[in-house]
Structure 1
Amino acid sequence: MDPPANCVDKLKSFAKSSKDYFNSLVRRTNSRSRGNPIEILKRLQQETFSDLMKLRDRQDKVERMLSIYKTRTGSPFQEASTHVKGEVDVVGSLLFVENIDQEICDIMKKAGVRTGVNSKLIFETTVRKKDTLSAEFMAKHNSQGSHGDVFGSPLTLKKVTYLANVNDWFSAIAIPVGAQFKDVGIGSDPLQSRGLTDFSSFAPPLLDRYHGCAAGLMVRGRNVFASLAEFVSWLGMEPNFVSNSRCLSTFAQVTYQPVEGTKMTLLGLQQKPRLRAQNIRLDSLTIPISSLRFHGSSFSSAEPSSIARNSTDNATSGSLALMLETELDESARIGGWVELQKSNTRNLQWAVCLSDTPEDELGWGMSIGGSVQRPLTLLHFQFEAFLKFTLGKRFNFQPGLVYALNERRGVPALVFRSSWSL
């Protein structure tokens, strides 16, 4: 073999052996790296990240489909949940008198002792995440039930309320049925501050007065609350809603909290009169425009004699009340209120209350109150003291002593109150 051919063969064999050597070196390096735990963890992390990205893409597709479905429905109640609240209130009394007459009944009525069984159901629904729609059903089992039935009345719709919370400091409320003054005000917790009678509450009986329908505005600040509302009542309403013959009422409240736990509240009520021209009964929520005029107007069908008979109703009446309440600790409170009723004869009602009613322990409360008439004439005075036994968070029992008297005689009575809530 010639030397050039031998030289080329040697070069080829050297190149092949070099290539085999490098390939074997790379394979050994790869095998070592594959056996390294760090490399294994890196590969597992990459595979897991890939799986998570696939799951996220699927979740995004499902959320897009659900959002399209919610947009198509367009109902404000699509995510609403209804909460049901219930309460059964039983009040009984034992009078320490030998003979019962009308005067004793009037004294106990002025004392605010309302015996009987009251059942209440409240349905609340959240609308548009901030607003609240509620309906209240009530049944009264006492001698003043429907048509004088001593067994009580059926469960009927008593109140409908729509509260629109525009933002944290401004709200609007509309009550087409069963409006009360306390619906547009902020006061004490009615269940916690309730005693045996109307005078043992930390708020005047003015707030519990019923009207037909109302609309109001409420403004909240850091330590100030104010509300203004218009209430409308008419002849077609139930007799126990409003006892007087007024049609349009303006209610205002201003609450100021100077320090934590202390509140001062000023309440004002002005009632515009109407003329009682004929015995006309209108259906609920039927309000003639002529009835909303001021006292200078009259009905076109009114007779002069009827206008003369009702001339005493033309004077504008109302009430002015001042409340003060201070929290001594978590469960003990002291407070009082004064209410001046502006009518033909000025009537002043007042009460001072002290209570300590913890949730899971024995509680107690006491109050004194009454009413006087100008010139200083005692119309009513009463003293009340009670104990409160709480069993769990849904049942409580309140026995107490009430002594009420007018300018001539007094009536002592044992009053028992029991409440159970759902």
Structure 2
Amino acid sequence: MDPVASVVDKLRGFAKSTQDLATGVLHWRDNSNRRNPIEILKRLQREAFSDLMILRDRQDKVERMLSFYKSSKGSPFQESSTLVRGEVDVLGALLMMDNVDEQKRDAVRRAGIRTGIDLRFTFETTVRQKDTLVTEFVASERGQNDVLRSPLSLAKVLYAADVSDWFSAVAVPVGARCRDVAITTNSSDQGKGLTDYSLLGPPLLNQQIGSGIGFIVRKSNVAASLAQFISGHGVQSVSAGVIRCFSTFGQVVYQLPRNTKLFLSGIHQVPKLSSQQVSLGAIAMPVGILRRRPETFGEASGLSTGRNREGDVLAGSIALMLESELDESTRIGGWVEMKKSNPRCLQWAVNMSDTPEDDFGWGLSLGGLVQGPRSWDHFQVETFLKFKVGKRLGLQPGLVYVMDGTSQFPALMFRSTWSM
């Protein structure tokens, strides 16, 4: 064998073995680094960061798409939310009387003592971010025995639209009251009293008068509202006629210094008496249907009535109210209401209350009905305490003392409200 070729072969073999040794050492170090926990964590961090960047990019694309659809007119992505409130209201009274006669029954009625159970569900939906749709279902047995047998009926449907900062419109196809279109204070304070005299505002604001539509205008320290109502579709009177009541309501509010407001409210009602039934057809349904007993409008509403030259029954009243807010929960105010048919008949009340939402509260009310310059037909004093048990249960004991003509009696009252 050639010595030169032998030397070349040995050099090639040495070079190959050296290369194999170097490759093995490098491969061993790489495997060792892969098995190192720190290196494993670094590699996982790099992979996770890459995945997060991909997800973030996809989320940005989805958000841009949603914002585009939200800004489009008629988009199904319009924001809306529904608030559901439920309330069980139980009101009882212990009348301290020697004997109960018709005069004392009338005194209790004039005192505005209404006992029984109310079950109420309210659905409030925000539409187009500014408008509000309110639907209310009520099962009530005030003055009866069993609320469980009373059907849950539709009591109110209200749509309030804020057209601008100074103009708004309210439509109430079912269960309209003047309070729905009036400029009032916080509506959650309406039921904090024990009788009609301790409620906020005069009685005309709480009359249920069918269906209607109203408009509210606000300008600096003055606000006004105007509404038209209609009720009594298909209601039978004693003479088998049909009663339709057309009511016009108006209110002006002036903002005085120190959180004091002056309210001037009025309602004009003209019930039309017809001797013929009105047939609406097989597929027509009137909106403002109210159940009443077979009696005339004056008896049903409790108002004294007169008649115009055409023989239509006239009713209505005007009220003046002053209210001052001392802080978030303390209020003092008063109101006086005059019947249109009898200007000498005045109903009045003065209320003071401190009723925080989640704390101890109290209230005091004076009220009465007077006919003539020196004749007090009715006077009553009411005081109550308010306790909060947990977040849902409220307890409200109170005392009412009534002086109605020759009848005088106290009444212990207790109210329990459970919110669902």
How far did 1:54 drift? 8.5
Distance 1:68 1:191, change over 3 A: closer
Corresponding residue number in structure 2 for 1:4: none
How far did 1:281 drift? 8.9
**Residue 285 (structure 1) aligned to one of 280, 284, 287:** 287
Mapped to 1, the partners of 2:352 and 2:207 lie a distance apart of 24
Corresponding residue number in structure 2 for 1:7: none
**Residue 340 (structure 2) aligned to one of 339, 342, 367:** 342
Work out whether residues 175 and 288 of structure 2, in 8 Å CA contact, stay in contact via their aligned partners in 1.
Answer: no
What SS is found at the alignment partner of 1:107?
helix
Paired residues for 1:131-142 under 5 Å: 131-142=131-142
1:161 aligns with 2:163: no
Deviation track 1:188-217 (CA, whole Å, cap 9, x = no partner) reads 334435211010123112111101101010
In percent, how many aligned pairs have the same letter? 56
1:419 aligns with 2:417: yes
Over aligned residues, Cα RMSD in angstroms?
A: 3.4
Distance 1:277 1:394, change over 3 A: same
Mapped to 1, the partners of 2:123 and 2:344 lie a distance apart of 40
How far did 1:366 drift? 1.1
What SS is found at the alignment partner of 2:110?
helix
Paired residues for 1:23-422 under 5 Å: 58=58, 61-63=61-63, 65-66=65-66, 74=74, 78-143=78-143, 152-192=149-189, 194-236=192-234, 247-278=245-276, 284-285=286-287, 314-343=312-341, 346-374=344-372, 376-422=374-420
Deviation track 1:358-383 (CA, whole Å, cap 9, x = no partner) reads 33432211111111224654332111
Corresponding residue number in structure 1 for 2:303: none
1:185 aligned partner, one-letter code: A
Mapped to 2, the partners of 1:323 and 1:269 lie a distance apart of 14
Corresponding residue number in structure 1 for 2:4: none
How far did 1:109 drift? 1.2
Work out whether residues 228 and 251 of structure 1, in 8 Å CA contact, stay in contact via their aligned partners in 2.
Answer: yes
Alignment length, in residue pairs? 345
Deviates more, 1:85-94 or 1:312-321: 312-321
5+ long unaligned stretches in structure 2: 1-49, 290-306
How far did 1:334 drift? 1.2
Work out whether residues 87 and 418 of structure 2, in 8 Å CA contact, stay in contact via their aligned partners in 1.
Answer: yes
How far did 1:141 drift? 2.4
How far did 1:89 drift? 1.0
Corresponding residue number in structure 2 for 1:20: none
Mapped to 2, the partners of 1:150 and 1:339 lie a distance apart of 33
Mapped to 1, the partners of 2:367 and 2:318 lie a distance apart of 17
1:177 aligned partner, one-letter code: V
Corresponding residue number in structure 1 for 2:5: none
Mapped to 1, the partners of 2:342 and 2:103 lie a distance apart of 23
TM-score relative to the length of structure 1? 0.72
Distance 1:378 1:68, change over 3 A: same
Mapped to 2, the partners of 1:344 and 1:278 lie a distance apart of 31
Deviation track 1:199-252 (CA, whole Å, cap 9, x = no partner) reads 01231121111011010101123322211100111243699xxxx956110101
1:213 aligned partner, one-letter code: S
1:113 aligned partner, one-letter code: I
Mapped to 1, the partners of 2:221 and 2:51 lie a distance apart of 55
TM-score relative to the length of structure 2? 0.73
5+ long unaligned stretches in structure 1: 1-49, 288-308
Work out whether residues 324 and 332 of structure 2, in 8 Å CA contact, stay in contact via their aligned partners in 1.
Answer: yes
How far did 1:98 drift? 2.5
Work out whether residues 81 and 126 of structure 2, in 8 Å CA contact, stay in contact via their aligned partners in 1.
Answer: yes
Distance 1:356 1:66, change over 3 A: closer
Distance 1:360 1:59, change over 3 A: closer
Work out whether residues 93 and 413 of structure 2, in 8 Å CA contact, stay in contact via their aligned partners in 1.
Answer: yes
Distance 1:390 1:62, change over 3 A: closer
Work out whether residues 336 and 352 of structure 1, in 8 Å CA contact, stay in contact via their aligned partners in 2.
Answer: yes
How far did 1:421 drift? 2.0
1:116 aligned partner, one-letter code: G
Deviates more, 1:355-364 or 1:336-345: 355-364
How far did 1:82 drift? 1.5
